[in-house]
Amino acid sequence: MLVDRFGRPVTNLRISLTHECNLNCFYCHREGQTLNFQEMSPEEIERIVRIASKLGVKKVKLTGGEPTVREDIVEIVRRIRPYVVDLSMTTNGTTMNILGEALKDAGLDRVNISLDTLDRNKYKEITGFDVLPQVIKGIKKAVRLFSPVKLNMVVMKGLNDDEIWDMVDYAAQNNAVLQLIEIEVPREMENSWFFKKYFYPLKPLEEEFQKIAIETKERRMHRRKKYFIPTKYGTAEVEIVRSMHNTVFCANCTRIRLTSSGHLKTCLLRKDDLVDIVTPIRNGASDEELIEIFKKAILMREPYWK
């Protein structure tokens, strides 16, 4: 297993499959990716996952851009399935109604679907597209196929913070887990108008959850807490993701990233941490050489908030 200089094991790989997206959320961090070269092929992705699995990576999450805009998404899932224990995808859900079964058959274990609002106008305001009904259909399909289905809600001040409790109810009603996420930006953006306008701290809500939850659990990854909240539709499972200035979050990070341009990346918020792995593959590198590239990237890992 790979362990970094701060004693953190690396067991998770988050792969951005494409920079392209069929929505345009105004707050999107684009997984910290700025480069947009040729995308990796399914064979290249499979090889990188195979090497990662040899080194102790057990969980892979597919993201983007929007991973399902890739025409070969089902092939990619099928190819990497044999190498991982837990294979998941973060998607905006727009294509889930059509692709759900094929993804499930190819071996996808679970999905996170981004859903910031249940209001059609607000959805359009946030994403630029009037597709909420399509996404809702996608969520309903997903909960029939996958478990758990997590709904990712980025909470934004004055925009959707008034919908938190509706979303808690919606999650309970639809058998999904709700992830409430604070906006995350690099240090240099903390003084931006965007961050000042929309950042909604979730700590007070977390304290309220502590009081009303019938049970709490802690996830190893980032030591994130899960709260089981009673609602009129039954119990809602809610996770809170507070990463800004959160040293505990970073101290418990077990993740490395792979950008769609084929670079290992150690942290969403860093800009100086790319290690090219796809060019060596294209130039005929051996597995041993690729293992050394992984080790080099792991050595660069350090907690962003410390």
Residues that bind ligand SAM (CB under 6 A): 21, 27-29, 31, 63-64, 66, 90-92, 114, 152, 154, 181, 183-184
For ligand SAM, the closer of residues 114 and 254 by Cβ is: 114
Q: Which residues does the annotation place in the binding site?
A: 14, 21, 25, 27-28, 61, 65, 90, 114, 150, 189, 250, 253, 255-257, 267
Q: Which residues does the annotation place in the binding site for GTP?
A: 14, 61, 90, 150, 255-257
By the 10 Å C-beta count (0-12 exposed, 13-18 middle, 19+ buried), 185 is classed as buried
Question: Are 122 and 160 in contact, with CB atoms under 8 Å apart?
Answer: yes
Q: Of the candidates 12, 163, 34, 37, which has an alpha carbon nearest to the alpha carbon of residue 90?
A: 12
Q: Residue 28 CB, nearest distance to ligand SAM (Å)?
A: 4
45: Cα separation from own chain's centroid: 18
Q: Of the candidates 241, 255, 219, 172, which has an alpha carbon nearest to the alpha carbon of residue 2?
A: 255
For ligand SAM, the closer of residues 168 and 213 by Cβ is: 168
The one-letter amino acid code at 183 reads I
H helices of the chain, in order, are 42-54, 73-80, 96-106, 120-127, 132-145, 164-173, 193-198, 203-212, 247-251, 278-282, 287-300
Q: Residue 230 CB, nearest distance to ligand SAM (Å)?
A: 26
For ligand SAM, the closer of residues 32 and 262 by Cβ is: 32
Q: Residue 164 CB, nearest distance to ligand SAM (Å)?
A: 15
For ligand SAM, the closer of residues 92 and 160 by Cβ is: 92
Q: Residue 189 CB, nearest distance to ligand SAM (Å)?
A: 9
Q: Of the candidates 75, 50, 57, which has an alpha carbon nearest to the alpha carbon of residue 13?
A: 57
Q: Which residues does the annotation place in the binding site for S-adenosyl-L-methionine?
A: 27, 65, 114, 189
Q: Residue 92 CB, nearest distance to ligand SAM (Å)?
A: 4
